[in-house]
A and B are shown apart, each in its own frame.
Chain A
Amino acid sequence: MRHIISILLENEAGALSRVAGLFSARSYNIESLSVGPSEDESASRMTIVTSGNDSVIEQVVKQLDKLIDVIEVSEITSAEHIEREIVFVKIKKNSIDEKKLDHFPNNEFFKIHKTISNDIIIECIDSPENINIFLESIKNITIKIVRSGSIGISCN
């Protein structure tokens, strides 16, 4: 089962590799990982999407909590939460009628960027599921995909 784990960790050199190293050393799965500054300037917040049965996830959380640089760790999927991801998709020149793009699927945020060389880059923010649906629909004309990985916040 898919789980989102939110981690607050000290901005220490190597803190990221402690977290990433833990996942590889213990054969835990990482679907995505994203990290950025938090409300506390001396700490970063990381969102990891992973999968595993309940006992694996329990261990993942406990092992993360054991890392000295980790201040807080919580599994946020089990309660009310919001999850979003951003994607950029570069599509083939003239492969699609631009007007069509305007009323493309009902993604929450959708913007079209035109490059100097007339390529089209679509920017979309949505839940990973909806992003997957969107990407599937333009699969044939896609040149390049850049996904941010999910970030999530618990509503509690």
Chain B
Amino acid sequence: MNSIDTNKKFTGAEIFVKCLESEGIDLVFGYPGGAVLHIYDELYKQNKVSHILVRHEQGAVHAAEGYAKSSGKTGVVLVTSGPGATNSITGIADAYMDSVPIVVFTGQVRTALIGNDAFQEVDTVGITRSCVKHNFMITDVTMMAEIIKKAFYVASTGRPGPVVVDIPKDITEDSCEFFYPKEVKMRSYVPYKQINTDSVNEAVEVILSCEKPIIYAGGGVINSNASNELTLLAKYLKFPVTNTLMGLGCYPGDDPQFIQMLGMHGSYEANMAMHDCDLLIAIGARFDDRITGKISEFSPNSTILHIDIDPSSISKNIKAHIPVIGDIKEVLNKISEIIIKKKLKPRNIDNWWGQINEWRKKDSFKYKQEDNVIKPQYVVDRLYAVTKGDAYITSDVGQHQMWAAQLYKFNKPRRWINSGGLGTMGFGLPSAMGVQFANKESLVCCVTGEASIQMCIQELSTCLQYALPIKIINLNNRYMGMVRQWQEFFYEKRYAMSYMDALPDFVKLAESFGHVGYKIEKPSDVDSALKDAIKLKNKLVFLDFITDQNENVFPMIATGAAHNKMILS
């Protein structure tokens, strides 16, 4: 496919499909419409690229994200112009915030009509500009193959992200010869820069001389496929490891050196250790406000060593004393080459571990399951036990997301799929579809709440069409739980609009879509319901757990508070 097929001309729509094929894409999530009909016609005529029909474009993008996050491959979306494009914006912004490699193809009105307020016209390139890694409009069919190649290259290299390619309808009619470039070079885009040896040496020096270290690892470790390298180095050094919400799974969740997630709802020991450490090793994490709390009181006595591929993440919120810019896997390998190969020993940090283990005794994620009402945490705990920690878990946004993050111990990367940066309610179900497509034989569970699930509930129909046996774990507390929690704490219990009145019967709802639904009200039924659902290998099961309405997520660091000012219960 890399040589010129001489004399033979293809339409833009044909070239589009050939490009996907040449790029090794076998799955596209999308929704047809006027501007992309030529492309859909070509998709219909072949069988190498499968198209998954979603029920709303937002669902297509989240599905592509779930596919990409769980597999490491680039997710692909195809939507029409106008509302097709605008409906996909939330997903694109989500992928941008969480650095997910996806390419979104949007139809556009004919070039002659652009700017004329034509039917289903929006300035897609303009609208998406601030939430994409890059975007393109194809204005000439001869540019199509090169632009598509560039789009995949930009999306998947360096710090990954979404790329939008806008294709006017007439471009899909025009024809030219087809040549798909093997590689592209862009002088203005250099995704992998040479790692500075001096900074690596400096890093090694502080690692070997610190007494109270902590490794703070984020989603960048997963994007760089560097979990093994991180685990190897951390184990050798015997340093404590905490993860961001996006980093969960990059270090084994059940390892004794793992001191749980940090941040607003992180563990007592992780946040205290961040505050008191003398060396903070940030790896593929970006010090966002949910992590740092009050900036001026953040980790006041530490040297900050920050490893990241994106220079703009370094010293953005917190000044890094030792920045190391580069691909995390490569940087960790370089550090290990010096420390492990030469068998250099770090200082004894037993006292530090003694302190951390004292903090650990607070058992800050604890809850008490009594006989009558199901505690939401209990469901996650049991899900972990029943699935032996080996399921793919997607989540929506809110309390259930925090409980899943706190209590499901992720031992492998790419198992925890959630919307971290943008915090998109509605992410859970469609992303689970993408995960299931990428991992056909695996168990995929969507931990959600009754508010979030309703935001993309239409995708139950997609799940029926493609027989996706997702298990939906609905923690139903009849409240927008996190909103209610904030209103309880900070608004004197004025529960403005956080009560979910007039909920549907989720069991019947699931059944109406051709799925199985269970309603679980007793703690003693939790285990059996989970086991029964998993036994139904080929069915989507909607498990509606009626949980304690007033449960809150603890610990909590209020916005603008310091790490050592945690609310524990």
**A contact set with B: CB distance below 8 Å:** 9-10, 13-14, 17-18, 21, 25, 55, 58-59, 62-63, 65-66, 68-71
A-B contact pairs, 5 of them (CB 8 A): A13-B139, A17-B129, A21-B130, A55-B319, A63-B312
Chain B residues closer than 8 Å to A63, beta-carbon distance: 312
Assess whether A68 is in contact with B125, with CB atoms less than 8 Å apart.
no
Q: Which of A17, A18, A55 contacts B315 (CB 8 A)?
A: A55
Assess whether A66 is in contact with B312, with CB atoms less than 8 Å apart.
yes
Closest B residue by C-beta to A64 = B312
Shortest CB-to-CB span from A8 to chain B, Å, is 9
B211 within 8 A of A: no
B310 within 8 A of A: yes
Chain A residues closer than 8 Å to B129, beta-carbon distance: 14, 17-18, 21
| Cα distance, A10 to B319, chains bound together (Å) | 31
| Cα distance, A13 to B188, chains bound together (Å) | 15
Assess whether A9 is in contact with B188, with CB atoms less than 8 Å apart.
yes
Closest A residue by C-beta to B129 = A21
Shortest CB-to-CB span from A23 to chain B, Å, is 11
Q: Which of A17, A25, A65, A70 contacts B311 (CB 8 A)?
A: A65
Shortest CB-to-CB span from B163 to chain A, Å, is 9
Known: A68-B133, A68-B189. A59 touches B125 (CB 8 A): no
Chain B residues closer than 8 Å to A55, beta-carbon distance: 315, 319
| Cα distance, A17 to B134, chains bound together (Å) | 13
Chain A residues closer than 8 Å to B188, beta-carbon distance: 9-10, 68-71
| Cα distance, A9 to B125, chains bound together (Å) | 18
Assess whether B311 is in contact with A71, with CB atoms less than 8 Å apart.
no
Leading 5 A-B pairs by shortest Cβ distance: A62-B312, A68-B134, A71-B188, A25-B130, A62-B311
| Cα distance, A71 to B185, chains bound together (Å) | 13
Chain A residues closer than 8 Å to B312, beta-carbon distance: 59, 62-63, 65-66
B483 within 8 A of A: no
| Cα distance, A9 to B129, chains bound together (Å) | 16
Shortest CB-to-CB span from B326 to chain A, Å, is 15
| Cα distance, A68 to B129, chains bound together (Å) | 12
Chain A residues closer than 8 Å to B186, beta-carbon distance: 68
Assess whether B315 is in contact with A58, with CB atoms less than 8 Å apart.
yes
B126 within 8 A of A: yes
Shortest CB-to-CB span from A83 to chain B, Å, is 25
**B contact set with A: CB distance below 8 Å:** 125-126, 129-130, 133-134, 137, 139, 154, 186-189, 310-312, 314-316, 319
| Cα distance, A58 to B317, chains bound together (Å) | 12
Chain A residues closer than 8 Å to B315, beta-carbon distance: 55, 58-59
Chain B residues closer than 8 Å to A59, beta-carbon distance: 312, 315-316
| Cα distance, A13 to B154, chains bound together (Å) | 18
Assess whether A14 is in contact with B125, with CB atoms less than 8 Å apart.
yes
Shortest CB-to-CB span from B127 to chain A, Å, is 11
Known: A55-B315, A59-B312. A71 touches B126 (CB 8 A): no
Among B154, B312, B314, B319: residue with most chain A CB under 10 A = B312
Given A62-B311, A65-B311, A68-B186, output 9 extra A-B contacts at Cβ < 8 Å: A10-B188, A13-B137, A14-B125, A14-B129, A21-B130, A65-B312, A66-B310, A66-B311, A68-B134
Chain A residues closer than 8 Å to B130, beta-carbon distance: 21, 25
Closest A residue by C-beta to B163 = A68
Closest A residue by C-beta to B316 = A59
Chain A residues closer than 8 Å to B133, beta-carbon distance: 68
Chain A residues closer than 8 Å to B154, beta-carbon distance: 68
Chain A residues closer than 8 Å to B139, beta-carbon distance: 13
Chain B residues closer than 8 Å to A71, beta-carbon distance: 187-188
| Cα distance, A70 to B311, chains bound together (Å) | 15
| Cα distance, A24 to B193, chains bound together (Å) | 28
Chain A residues closer than 8 Å to B314, beta-carbon distance: 62
Shortest CB-to-CB span from B432 to chain A, Å, is 31
Among A25, A58, A70: residue with most chain B CB under 10 A = A58
| Cα distance, A10 to B136, chains bound together (Å) | 13
| Cα distance, A75 to B139, chains bound together (Å) | 34
Assess whether A17 is in contact with B189, with CB atoms less than 8 Å apart.
no
Shortest CB-to-CB span from B503 to chain A, Å, is 38
Shortest CB-to-CB span from B264 to chain A, Å, is 23
Closest A residue by C-beta to B130 = A25
Chain B residues closer than 8 Å to A58, beta-carbon distance: 315
| Cα distance, A65 to B312, chains bound together (Å) | 9
| Cα distance, A18 to B130, chains bound together (Å) | 8
Shortest CB-to-CB span from B138 to chain A, Å, is 11
Shortest CB-to-CB span from A30 to chain B, Å, is 16
Closest B residue by C-beta to A24 = B130
Shortest CB-to-CB span from A12 to chain B, Å, is 9
Shortest CB-to-CB span from A141 to chain B, Å, is 42
Chain A residues closer than 8 Å to B316, beta-carbon distance: 59
| Cα distance, A63 to B319, chains bound together (Å) | 16
Closest A residue by C-beta to B139 = A13
Shortest CB-to-CB span from B49 to chain A, Å, is 26
Closest A residue by C-beta to B310 = A66
Shortest CB-to-CB span from B169 to chain A, Å, is 18
Assess whether A17 is in contact with B126, with CB atoms less than 8 Å apart.
yes
Shortest CB-to-CB span from A71 to chain B, Å, is 4
Shortest CB-to-CB span from A56 to chain B, Å, is 10
Shortest CB-to-CB span from B85 to chain A, Å, is 16
Closest A residue by C-beta to B125 = A14
Shortest CB-to-CB span from A62 to chain B, Å, is 4
| Cα distance, A18 to B125, chains bound together (Å) | 10
Chain B residues closer than 8 Å to A10, beta-carbon distance: 188
